[in-house]
Structure 1
């Protein structure tokens, strides 16, 4: 189906603010969103939304959002028939360093340094490439948790591209269960696990809830990481408590700065204690323990 790209050019700071608002506004629709650096010296960044179907309505919704954000930049439209939007959105992204981790595409293998924990992620139909502030925040927090606690098993809930599961397998050399509710995401995760030679440690499974038997078989877990959305994270707080070992660590992200207190309250009500919050690009990553 023909896609339409709705896009505007602005500064990096404003692009990140718009991106965060667009993710919230369009999360149920699932329209792909990307930010591309056009000119570093002039601080020009292009933010795009790729839509299908009733583009007029989508454009109207986006214009209303920009007005609410007091963004006075022209919104342009471009028809893109049969485009691979994921590949396009990743083309302009630079590799990301988070602690010892280096998340990159195949074209950036030559930038791997001695001592890097390299994770290669290619275009696929799942989010979580490591370029997003939530994933980068998780990587940084996970490195500190593994170094301090030496967990013996882990769960990556809502794994997406499996970047976090791969990171744990490479860093800690422990078994990791990587689950997602979307079977397409699970397929992409499986491919990425294989690409990174982590199949011996990472098991990928499509699971729509904690009632799936794999959680009972593999748990309880010494470490759980979940980079999803604030609402679902609050809903599953009791299940998280039930599947985390006493003394274990929980790392949560996919949470906007303004959602931090509500998520934290849901987990402290389940007996978790707050260890640390990392703020990155308008998002937070929360480390909790039982």
Structure 2
């Protein structure tokens, strides 16, 4: 494994990282960047071979000629060690995600999700995973708000001038409009049924299973699909460790035949831009009318292309959640989405 590093200003580093991400397949196994000191940013590119290093250098050189990449070899064991040692807990809304080393020190009221760093993506530290967890947080808040008792029913009410009025059993409740997620947030349909029964979740590109596990801890029945068999095995272990194995089904493979004809209240797809665009027909079909679709794995600069692919299919963009260079998009499906 080789590590390529460079220092530069924000524009240079972001241009290089974006260009590496646009290449499919990319010579890099992983790309990250962060602010090392005020106004000074560091780019880190991990590549498996010298040939990949040369390709990455050529891409960075074309995108940001001012950057000078330094190269060093690192042991494969160092990759795991860096992941396991000292990772802090990640907090996203009501959730806290951490390994055992950090989770034991969490004493607040947040929902704890035990995820050890591993080959499977999804410890909560990446901006895309955090964004998806925040999207789930908004979805759950909406469900809780809609589950609160309606203002009508038995008891007493006040007339226009303060006189007491007694509600009779014959009074029928009003027809409520379509419920909404607060200010410009997601519409949740059929709220009465949704709160009498568990909601259903599909997690495409599940990685460590963190999103399916988080949803299951809040009452969902989740189907997690992961194309990498090693990652799928890790997701199953994580579901057991978090005591939600009975609510999380993990499938290794593309999962297309398992979701054909099924519809879910909430769908996650935290993958990459090109697969998100390619899978737009299948993902939109998998969402129930009025349901939610949370997409991530894309850079801010890639969001417009993904938005075009989903808006053209009748999906309605309700929320953007940005963190660092990453963007999470929260959609709802109208009752008459195109192509359904």
| TM-score bracket for the superposition, by shorter chain length | 0.7 to 0.9
In 1, distance between residues paired with 2:87 and 2:21?
A: 18
Q: Tell me, in whole angstroms, the C-alpha distance in 2 between the residues paired with 1:92 and 1:61.
A: 32
**Equivalence map 1:53-202=2 (5 Å):** 53=49, 55=50, 57-70=51-64, 72-91=66-85, 93-149=87-143, 152-170=199-217, 172-202=218-248
Confirm or deny: 8 A CA contact 2:13 2:64 kept in the other structure: no
**1:48 equivalenced with 2:92 (yes/no):** no
Post-superposition Cα deviations, 1:116-170, rounded to whole Å, max 9, x if no partner, equal 1222221221222211111111111111112214561111111011111111112
Q: Is contact 1:17-1:282 (8 Å) kept? A: no
Where 1:83 maps in the other structure, the secondary structure is helix
How many Å apart are 1:97 and its aligned residue?
1.6
| Contact residue 224 and residue 244 of structure 1 kept, 8 A | yes
Per-residue CA distance 1:8-31 (angstroms, 9 max, x = gap): 456789766655544444754461
Return the offset for 1:50. Answer: 3.1
Helix, strand or coil: the match of 1:102?
strand
User: 2:162 is matched with which residue?
Assistant: none
Point out where structure 2 has 5 or more consecutive residues left out of the alignment: 144-193, 334-340
- 5 Å-filtered alignment, 1:191-270, equals 191-210=237-256, 212=257, 214-216=258-260, 219-270=262-313
Output aligned runs, 1:279-290, within 5 Å.
279-290=322-333
- The aligned residue for residue 31 of structure 1 is 29
Q: Is the 8 A contact 1:35 1:89 kept in 2?
A: no
1:169-208 per-residue CA deviation (whole Å, 9 max, x = no partner) reads 12x2111111011112111211222222221211111131
Q: Counterparts of 1:271 and 1:103 in 2: how far apart (Å)?
A: 34
> Which structure has the bigger radius of gyration?
2
- Taking a change above 3 Å as real, the CA distance of residues 129 and 269 of structure 1, as seen in their structure-2 partners, is same
Q: Does the CA-based 8 Å contact 1:134-1:253 persist in structure 2?
A: yes
Q: State the match for 1:6 in structure 2.
A: 4
Contact conserved, 1:156 with 1:226, CA < 8 A, in 2?
Answer: yes
Q: What is the CA–CA distance in structure 2 between the aligned matches of 1:228 and 1:14, rounded to whole Å?
A: 25
SS of structure 1 residue aligned to 2:77:
coil
Per-residue CA deviations over 1:26-83 (Å, capped at 9, x if unaligned) read 754461345688x7x7787754333333x1x322333233334437454322223442
Listed as ranges, the gaps of 5+ residues in structure 1 are none
How many residues of Structure 1 are paired with residues of Structure 2 in the alignment?
280
Deviation larger for 28-37 or 197-206? 28-37
2:10 and 2:80 mapped to 1: Cα distance? 21
Please, what TM-score do these two structures have when normalized by structure 1? 0.83
Structure 2 Cα separation of the partners of residues 42 and 234 of structure 1: 36
CA contact (8 A) 1:20 1:282 kept: no
